[in-house]
Every structure is written in C-alpha cells, then in structure tokens.
Structure 1
Amino acid sequence: MMEENIKFNELESKVLDLLENYTKIKEELVVLESENTRLKNKLRDSQVHNLNLMEEVKRLKVVNGMSGNQEYKKMMKLKMNKLIKEVDSCIAQIKTNS
C-alpha cells in the first residue's frame, strides 16, 4: 500500500509538472502569436514604404531626364519610344476593329 502511495505521488507530481509546462507553453504561444502579428504588420508597412520609395525614384528619374541630365536622357528616350509604340499599337487595333 505504501509503495502504491509513493507511485501515485510520483505520478501526481509528474502530472502537475506537465500541467505547469503546458501553461507556460500556452502563455509563450500567446506572446509569440502577438509578436508574429506585430512583425507581419511591420513587414506590410515596410513593403508599402518600399513601393512608395520606388515610385518616388521613378518620378525623380523622369524629372532628371526632362531636366537634361544625360544619364537619364537615354532612359527617358527609350521609355517615350515604348509608350509611342504602345499608342501606335492601340491605334492600329482601333482601325482594324472599326
């Protein structure tokens, strides 16, 4: 009987340890989920900021090209040619569809 009580006490102690560990892990999970959400939001904000900066760079390149900066002049010329080709293609499609 005494031996059974000892085994029962050991089992009870192990169950209590498991419950304590489970509780700690649940708390840690909540913290990690919160951190994950915060980091996802930060990543999304950074991506939006990055896109805005890329658009600003494009605008600045256009402005530099228009202001006569030789480095961007060729790029602007190529871009203008591409746009003209697209417009020509659209006009051709309109003519064939009419």
Structure 2
Amino acid sequence: MSDIGGIVDSLEVKFQKLTKKLESLQQTNEGLLIKLSHSEKIMQSQSQEIKELKANSDSIKITNSLLGSDEYKRDTKLKINSLIREIDYCIAQLSD
C-alpha cells in the first residue's frame, strides 16, 4: 500500500511540474504572439511606405523626362502612348 502512496505522490509532483511548465509555455506563447503581431504591423507599414516611395520615384522619373531629362524619355513616351491608347479605346466604346 505504501508503494501506491509513493507512486501517487510522485505523480502529483510530476503533474504539478507539468502544470507549471504548461503555464510558463502559455505565457511565452502569448509574448511571442504579441511580438508577431507587432512585427506584422511594422511589415505592413514598411510595405506601404515602399509602395509610396516607388510611386514617388516613378512620378519623379516622369517629371524629369518632361522637363527635358534624356534619361527617362523613352519610359515617358511609352506611358503617354499607353494613355493615348486607353483614351482612344474609351472614345471607341462611347461612339458604339
């Protein structure tokens, strides 16, 4: 009978240790989830900033080419031609 009592006591101690370990891991997990959420917000912010910077860069390239810079003239001409084709398509759709 004393063997069973010792086994039960041993199991209780192990169960308490496991419970404490579980609580510790849950707290660690919560901390990691908060860090992950924060990191995702930072990534979204940086992604949006990159998109804005690329748009600004494209605008600057077009502006430079319109102001006489030879470096981006080809890109500007292609963009203008694309816009003209879109306008022509719209006019054709309206005339139908």
Alpha-carbon distance in structure 1 between the residues aligned to 2:75 and 2:34: 46
| Structure 2 residues not aligned, in runs of 5+ | none
Output one character per residue of 1:44-95: Cα deviation in whole Å (capped at 9) or x when no partner.
1011111110111111111111121112011111111111111111111111
Q: How many residues align?
A: 96
Whole-angstrom distance in 2 between the partners of 1:39 and 1:90: 44
Paired position in structure 1 for 2:69: 69
Name the CA distance, whole Å, in 1 between partners of 2:8 and 2:92: 89
Corresponding residue of 1:23: 23
> What residue is the counterpart of 2:8 in the other structure?
8
Letter in 2 for 1:85: R
Runs of 4+ in 1 over 4 A off after TM superposition: none
3-state DSSP of counterpart to 2:31: helix
Letter in 1 for 2:54: M
Distance 1:85 1:11 in 2: 79
**Could you tell me which amino acid in structure 2 is paired with residue 82 of structure 1?**
S
How many angstroms apart in 2 are the aligned matches of 1:23 and 1:92? Answer: 69
The aligned amino acid for 1:27 is Q
Give me the TM-score of the superposition, normalised by structure 1.
Answer: 0.92
Question: What TM-score does the superposition give when structure 2 sets the normalisation length?
Answer: 0.94
Equivalent in the alignment of 1:79: 79
Structure 1: segments with no counterpart, 5+ residues: none
State the 1:11 CA deviation.
0.4
Give the whole-Å Cα distance in 2 for the aligned partners of 1:28 and 1:2: 39
Question: What RMSD over aligned residues (CA atoms) do the two structures have, in Å?
Answer: 0.9
Kindly state the Cα deviation for residue 17 of structure 1 after the two structures are TM-superposed: 1.0
